[in-house]
Amino acid sequence: MTVVFEKTKGLTDVQTHYCPGCTHGIVHRLVGEALEELGVLDKAIGVAPVGCAVLAYNYFNCDMHEAAHGRAPAVATGIKRVRPENFVFTYQGDGDLASIGTAEIVHVAHRGEKISTIFINNAIYGMTGGQMAPTTLIGQKATTAPLGRDEAHSGKPIKMSELLATIDGAKFVERVTVTTPGHVRKAKKAIKECFKLQIEGKGFGIVEVLSTCPTNWGLTPEESLRWLEENMIPYYPLGSFKRPKEDD
Amino acid sequence: MRKVLMKGNEAIGAAAIEAGCKYFFGYPITPQSELPEYMARELPKIGGVFLQAESEIAAINMVYGAAGSGVRVMTSSSSPGMALKQEGISYMAGAELPCVIVNIMRGGPGLGGIQPSQTDYFQATRGGGNGDYRLVVLAPADVQELVDLIIEGFDIADQYRNPVMILGDGMIGQMMEPVEFKEPKKRDLPEKDWATTGTEGKRKPNIINSLYLAPEELEKHNIKLQAKYREIKEKEVKVQSYNIEDGDVVIAAYGTTSRIVKTAISQLEREGYKVGLIRPITLWPYPYEEFQKINDECKGILTVEMNNGQMIDDVKIAVEGKYPVYFYGRTGGMVPTPDEIVKKVKEIHGGEI
């Protein structure tokens, strides 16, 4: 019998705490597979955020740090600077990366730290119960924006990939999603390319993954996938924003 | 070994390197900037890393990452910057990560000033961050002691897996004195088998963490931390005292203030007064027991600080109401003079207050 699919060694053998229909699980698998397939799992050190992925240190099958809210890029900097031979990545949500940790992510890109970041953008605070995120869409309801996000009050949703792509030290910036098998394949390709960049010592790389939050969006898992495609993708276009140049 | 003349802030850097610290993450702030500047010059020469972070918050989190990866690492700041580092310090205490943190204090609150003060005693000894935790807080009085405590501080941090804070002030950071670099007392330091170094496929993943969602687990973690703090209290108290068996008045002072107090005591002795001194070197654990040795006839304890009275709380805890406790302090960067202290001691001695 031929094995056509098996669970990656990049993930531990435990049940996750994620809600049904949440795409964290898919992205965890892709990260685990990328670490395993690139042969860096044994020397990987990951940094988990504060937010829904706070327990990611229990799920990735490698050495892990749990960072304070938003500080994962700074923690990863400390690790990578003392252990340049290790593979260092952060896994962060939009509250963590795009709100409280904007300084840390901007400066990790600015210094061109040789680390990789997986950025989960689901346009809401999941763990704390559906509050408005900097990425919440205009008109989208949240517990702290009960009438929907109002541009005059809260500004427009922040586009982190576009912002980070303007920084010289960021060498790989791509936005993907995981709503269909086709998108999942593209997302994995982007994550592997981003990780390869670090292995080759070329600089900072980030993959933004548009993700669902059925629980706090108040939708079924299937409706959530549709809502993401109809509402998030038009505002947050998928695709590559930055690739290393020939001379990088 | 030959003595060298060094400025306090630079001596801290030299002592850290002597102790095997090759990594420094910091952010500029007066009056401690000579230390990151020294590290920026010296660490690359020995294959180490100096990195100027985007903020004190980032710097302490870089220390968290580096310490979790098993290396000796240091950061420094001054009062307002140290306030920013408290989040990371609490996380390091929770995750039991060793490191040395230097606070060269200046006047506050808020942006305060840039002149010397001792206004962060509460912050350092009571836990400036959230949660039930303790730092080992070392308070050197001169540049030689500063060097000695930095070197020993790294060992203490590693032995107990706990952050150690050096609490100095702008005066000790800026003054130049001759120093020599001596081996600290030999300690049995545990292997850092908890550090994140990559599993190499040989062991289960190591996790650096301060999160315990199950209350029974978090309580268990806290009980373990408290047991460690008790051991530190039993083994690591450092204090210098003088004439407390005989002094009619005993002064309590730490750091550079204690040197001004010593000058005042010499002057008082020339005039025939008997005055004692208790100088805590560890502010946590505090040398409470030393105060039990004060003679029964002592008229009172005078606490002298460069603030409005912070260590006085520990002095009151220590004497348990046995003696009246008085305070003299200057603040805002103003430094008490020996004459002012002499006057205060005479008032206590004469029963005027």
Per-residue model confidence as pLDDT tens digits over A67-110: 999 999 999 999 999 999 999 999 999 999 999 999 999 999 99
Residue of A40, A51, A101 whose CA lies nearest to A76: A101
Looking at B188, B214, B235, the residue that finishes a domain is: B235
A38 contact B CB<8A: no
Task: Report the sign of the C-alpha dihedral through residues B41, B181, B178, B268, in that order.
Answer: positive
Domain assignment of residue A11, yes or no: no
**CA B294 → CA A212, B281, B298, B303, distances in Å?**
68, 18, 7, 14
The reply to whether B230 and B298 lie within a common domain is no
pTM score, two decimals? 0.97
Q: pLDDT value at position B217?
A: 98
Contacts of A39 in chain B (CB under 8 A): none
Q: Which ipTM was obtained for this model?
A: 0.97
Q: Is residue A47 one of the residues assigned to a domain?
A: yes
Query: pLDDT tens digits, residue range A209-242?
Result: 999 999 999 999 999 999 999 999 999 999 999 9
* Chain B residues touching residue A67 (CB < 8 angstroms): 61, 64, 91
Q: What is the 3-state secondary structure (H, E, C) of chain A?
A: CCCCCCCCCCECCCCCCCCCCCCHHHHHHHHHHHHHHCCCHHHEEEEECCCHHHHHHHCECCEEEECCCCCHHHHHHHHHHHCCCCEEEEEEEHHHHHHHCHHHHHHHHHCCCCCEEEEEECCCECCCCCECCCCCCECCCECCECCCECHHHHCCCCCHHHHHHCCCCEEEEEEEECCCHHHHHHHHHHHHHHHHHHHCCCCEEEEEEECCCHHHHCCCHHHHHHHHHHHHHHHCCCEEEECCCCCC
- Asked whether the beta carbons of A207 and A118 are under 8 A apart, the reply is yes
CA distance A223 to chain B (A): 31
Q: How many whole angstroms separate alpha carbon B83 and alpha carbon B92? A: 15
CATH of the domain at B308: 3.40.50.920
Q: Are residues B52 and B195 in the same domain?
A: yes
> Two tokens at B333?
């960067």
Instruction: Tell me the pLDDT band of B353, cut-offs 50, 70 and 90.
Output: confident
CA B104 to chain centre: 10
| Same-domain pairing of B183 and B259 | no
B116: which DSSP letter?
A: B
Q: How many angstroms from the chain centroid is the CA of residue B341?
A: 24
Q: Which residues of B touch A76 (CB under 8 A)?
A: 65
- CATH number at A217 reads 3.40.50.970
| Nearest CA among B309, B242, B229, B248 for reference residue B280 | B242
**Tell me, what's the pLDDT at B113?**
94
Q: For residue B205, what is the DSSP state?
A: P
Task: Give pLDDT, residue B147.
Answer: 98
- What residue has token string 């390091």? B92
Q: What share of chain B is helix, strand, coil (3-state, %, to 5)?
A: 40, 20, 40
B212 and B262 both lie in a single domain: no
Task: Say whether both B71 and B113 belong to one domain.
Answer: yes
Nearest in space to B150 (alpha carbons), one of B18, B341, B36, B264: B18
Same domain, B107 and B83: yes
Q: Do B66 and A45 touch (CB under 8 A)?
A: no
Asked whether residue A247 is assigned to any structural domain, the reply reads: no
A175 part of contact set with chain B, CB < 8 Å: no
Tell me: do B16 and B126 sit in the same domain: yes
Q: Are residues B250 and B126 in the same domain?
A: no
Q: Is the pLDDT of residue B352 over 90?
A: no
Residue A246, pLDDT score: 80
Q: Does residue B2 surpass a pLDDT of 90?
A: no
Q: What torsion do the CA atoms of A88, A91, A96, A101 make, to the nearest 10 degrees?
A: 20
Mean pLDDT of chain B: 97
pLDDT one-digit tens code per residue, B16-54: 999 999 999 999 999 999 999 999 999 999 999 999 999
Q: Beta strand pairing status for A170-177 and A116-121?
A: unpaired
- Pair (B219, B267) in one structural domain: no
pLDDT at B176 over 80: yes
Q: How far apart are CA B285 and CA B280, in angstroms?
A: 9
**Residue A229 to chain B, least CA–CA distance (Å):** 34
Residues A196-216: tens digit of each pLDDT = 999 999 999 999 999 999 999
Q: What is the mean pLDDT of chain A?
A: 97
CA–CA separation, A170 and A148 (whole Å): 33
Q: What is the largest CA-CA distance in chain B?
A: 74
Kind of pairing, strands B300-305 and B249-252?
parallel
Residue A162 pLDDT exceeds 80: yes
Q: Return all residues near B33 (Cβ < 8 A) that are at least 6 apart.
A: B9
Q: What is the Rg, in whole angstroms, of the alpha carbon atoms belonging to chain A?
A: 17
Q: What is the pLDDT of residue B351?
A: 87
d(CA B298, CA B246): 8
pLDDT for res B236: 98
CB pairs under 8 A between A and B: 134
Look at A68 and B63 and tell me if their CB atoms are within 8 Å.
no
| Residue A40, pLDDT above cutoff 80 | yes
pLDDT band at B167 (very low <50, low <70, confident <90, very high): very high
CB B120 within 8 A of CB B167: yes
Answer whether B200 touches A (CB < 8 Å): yes
Which residue reads 């003679």 in tokens? B295
* Domain match, B164 and B254 both: no
Over residues A147-159, mean pLDDT: 98
pLDDT digits (tens, 9 = 90+) for B129-154: 999 999 999 999 999 999 999 999 99
B1 pLDDT more than 80: no
Q: With bands split at pLDDT 50, 70 and 90, how would you rate the model's confidence at A247?
A: confident
Tell me which chain B residues have a C-beta less than 8 angstroms from the C-beta of A62: 198-199, 205
Total domain count, chain A: 1
Residue A151 is part of which domain span? 24-242
Return phi, psi of residue A184, to 5°: -60, -40
Q: Residue A58: its chain B contacts at CB < 8 A? A: 207
Percent of all residues in chain B with a pLDDT value above 90, rounded to a whole number:
97
CA of A104, closest CA in chain B: separation in Å?
7
How close, in Å, is residue A226 to chain B by CA atoms?
33
Please report, for the domain that includes residue B191, its CATH number: 3.40.50.970
* Last residue of one domain, picked from the residues B235, B262, B281: B235
Q: Confidence band (pLDDT; 50, 70, 90) for A1?
A: confident
Q: What percentage of chain B reaches a pLDDT higher than 70?
A: 100
Q: How confident is the model at residue B297 (pLDDT cuts 50, 70, 90)?
A: very high
Same domain, B193 and B318: no
Is the torsion defined by CA of B281, B114, B43, B74 positive or negative?
Answer: positive
Domain that holds residue B283: 240-349
Q: Which of B186, B201, B235 is the last residue of a domain?
A: B235
Q: For B261-294, how does the pLDDT look when each residue is reduced to its tens digit (9 = 90+)? A: 999 999 999 999 999 999 999 999 999 999 999 9
User: Residue A114 region, left (φ>0) first, then alpha (ψ -120 to 50), else beta?
Assistant: beta
Question: Domain tally for chain B?
Answer: 2
Listed in order, strand segments (DSSP E) in chain B are 4-7, 23-26, 49-52, 73-77, 99-105, 136-138, 163-169, 176-179, 207-208, 239-242, 249-252, 275-280, 282-284, 300-305, 325-329
A 10 A CB-CB count for B194 gives: 15
B246 shares a domain with B229: no
Q: Which two tokens stand for residue A32?
A: 């685990």
pLDDT in tens, A102-145: 999 999 999 999 999 999 999 999 999 999 999 999 999 999 99
